[in-house]
Chains A and B, each alone.
Chain A
Amino acid sequence: MTRYIVRRLLWTLLVLLVISLITFILMHSVPGGPFDREKAVPPEILANLLAKYHLDEPLYKQYLRYLWDIFIPHISRIPPGSSLTDDHLINIKIGNKLWLKWMNFGPSYSSRSRTVNDYFRQQFPVSAQLGVMAFLVAISIGIPLGILAALKQNTIIDYIGMSIAIFGVSVPVIVLGPILIWIFGVTLKWLPPTGWGAKPPFILGFIPSNLKPEFFKYAIMPSVALGLAQSALIARLTRASLLQVLREDYIRTARAKGLPERTVIFVHALKNSMIPVVTIMGPMFAALVTGTFVTETIFGIPGLGKYFVLSITNRDYPLIMGTILLYALILVLANLLVDITYAFLDPRIRLTD
């Protein structure tokens, strides 16, 4: 098991390297630079700017420098956060005026006063909160709906449940978002149409410090808009999987032993039927946390999504790289977590090489 996880983590590292390389090549082959303005910058200033960010070096050197900054931990006497080029995500004090620093994602080119790590600390938690809330919406609607539909197969409940599911799959965020805003925000005025109810600093860098009704008032519409389609997918998958499991011999055995129907379903059947559901939950979680652009745009939420799109148009190289790597890391870790969860759900699955 440990060997398996170590192997997978090494593979993750390789994947991240390849992704960073592809992204680096792709973004540097796009014409235009980070300091192009409508009014041309004087050549001397441009040269200084390029030198400041090491953009005048050969590309391979820039790439290696980037990798060095984010992957290799440094030990330094300079206190953390003293300059924009020396802002690390992880700072551990290891002695008197001695810090272990790791993961410097560099300064942002488009915002001269912020580093990429600032975006990670202030914008990413908002996207993550939205993603987690949407994920909770997806699970808490999807799984009960799927179980209900499977247990009442071919009854009116099943048909209504699955119609709701098809409805959910068919209505993307860009459709549901404006409609929700119009109904609940503009016409009924029950919920604030746009905005987000939490501001940095966050507890543990992620949890909003004011978990009051106010926060949920802002969060409920975007979470539903983002999570509904996923809940529909979960409902369909749960139903199909549970139906299949209920036909297995060991369910018949459990019933023959005289176990109450509730025990049969919730202890014996449900656990096994969750395997395919858990499989899609990994990528789904990653997709929800990373795929919040449209929801953020529609609901005016200050998350990372908007800045990612902007970073591409601005050629803000460090922000592009940082965002892609962060999201890729979430994606591969979510998939790893899924594979480990398998072993707990189904003892027949052994994690070997």
Chain B
Amino acid sequence: MSEQTVALRVRPEALARPVRGFWEDAFLRLIRNKAAVLGGIIVITLIFVAIFADYIAPYSYSEQSLVDNNAVPAWMLKVFPTIRGYARINNKYLLGADYVGRDLLSRIIYGTRISLTVAFIGPLISLLIGTIYGSISGYFGGRIDNIMMRLVDVLYAFPGLLFIILLMAFFRSTLTRLTPGTFAYYVGQLDAKMGGMLFIFIGIGLTAWENMARLTRGQVLSIKEKEFIEAARAIGAGHLRIMFRHILPNVIGPLIVAETLAIPSYISLEAFLSFIGLGVNPPTPSWGLMISEGAGVIRTYPNQAIFPALALAITMFAFNFLGDGLRDAFDPRLRGT
């Protein structure tokens, strides 16, 4: 009876509309969101800049020219009138040079590499540890769940920022003093090759997975009693198979969206660590490090802090817009949360 009423109300032209799948639907919702599209374009541009930094940057990020230290281009006198009188003018540097005469623009361009790497690796590590931990906890339940979640509770009570500072200090000082030949020594060498990035990843990995573990556990709990899981168990699938083939694909969507929304926090975490001197090793150009160096001379040479700060802000904007758009596209009910 009710089915009939519904059928009668359907307009014929609506029936002719092509049926769209979940992904297609989400994609269409995404590209209708102007802010998200703008964010996406900026992110793609940044990726492009990061990959081809060698060709785009006018100079090397570490090349010093001490005669040009703190030099500014002529156009900057109009923007920052206070620096007239003492600043050394050199139009060779588009955004000026820093305290040892390195080109700011080139350093900002190379800096995208650090921020973007963190933006992609950070969520990946957190997702990997968090989903495995959360799946095990939620799937097995009972005492295992209880113990595993209490551990997360304890880590949750650890002041996160302090913990990561402590970890970074630990890594920095331990692995620089090791005897050659040991495993830790090679890890230290690898980190030095990556300009100090490896430890940032480990630090993020050790501190950022707790939220993801909680979220995964909640999702797994809600899905593990469903009929298709019971069916899988009935035909003799093992725990691992059920967890990773049947449950995980059904819960991964919201987790990825949550991680996308967390990307700006990873970017600012790296900038923060580099700012206080526990992030990348100089001369690797990180925006956080550049802002820290620039903040010291903000009264005399404001350009040295403001341009890296703008680069960081624009990147954060882009990822925030894109993340919001993705969330709305995949789950329209959550719009604006």
| Chain A contacts to B: CB under 8 angstroms | 12, 15-16, 18-19, 22-23, 26-27, 29-32, 162, 166-167, 169-172, 174-175, 177-179, 181-182, 186-187, 193, 236-237, 239-240, 243, 286-287, 290-291, 293-294, 297-298, 308-309, 312-313, 320, 323-324, 327-328, 331-332, 335
B323 to chain A, nearest CB (A): 10
In the complex the two chains form, is B294's CB within 8 Å of A178's CB?
A: yes
A298 to chain B, nearest CB (A): 6
| Chain B contacts to A: CB under 8 angstroms | 35, 82, 153-154, 157-162, 165-167, 169-170, 173-174, 177, 264, 268, 271-272, 275-276, 278, 288, 291-292, 294-295, 298-299, 302, 305-306, 309-310, 312-313, 316-317, 320-321, 324, 334, 336-337
In the complex the two chains form, is B154's CB within 8 Å of A309's CB?
A: no
The 5 closest A-B pairs by CB, nearest first: A240-B337, A170-B316, A327-B159, A175-B309, A178-B305
Distance of A178 Cα from B309 Cα, bound (Å): 8
Assess A178 versus B276: contact at CB under 8 Å? Given A170-B313, A236-B336. no
In the complex the two chains form, is B306's CB within 8 Å of A186's CB?
A: no
In the complex the two chains form, is B272's CB within 8 Å of A172's CB?
A: yes
In the complex the two chains form, is A186's CB within 8 Å of B299's CB?
A: yes
Assess A174 versus B161: contact at CB under 8 Å? Given A30-B174, A239-B336, A297-B276. no
In the complex the two chains form, is A166's CB within 8 Å of B276's CB?
A: no
Where chain A touches its partner, the secondary structure class is helix
- Given A172-B268, A312-B166, A327-B162, 9 more A-B residue pairs with CB atoms under 8 Å apart are A15-B154, A30-B170, A167-B317, A169-B264, A179-B306, A182-B298, A193-B298, A294-B272, A297-B276
In the complex the two chains form, is A294's CB within 8 Å of B275's CB?
A: yes
In the complex the two chains form, is B298's CB within 8 Å of A186's CB?
A: yes
Assess A331 versus B288: contact at CB under 8 Å? Given A174-B309, A186-B298, A294-B272. no
Q: Across the two chains, which residue of chain A brings its CB closest to B317?
A: A170
The one of A181, A186, A236, A320 that contacts B166, using a Cβ cutoff of 8 Å: A320
B51 to chain A, nearest CB (A): 23
In the complex the two chains form, is A170's CB within 8 Å of B166's CB?
A: no
Contact partners of B337 in chain A: CB under 8 A:
236-237, 240
In the complex the two chains form, is A175's CB within 8 Å of B291's CB?
A: yes
Contact partners of A170 in chain B: CB under 8 A:
264, 313, 316-317, 320
Q: Which of A32, A169, A309 lies at the interface centre, i.e. has the most chain B CB atoms within 10 A of its CB?
A: A169
Q: Across the two chains, which residue of chain B brings its CB closest to A293?
A: B276
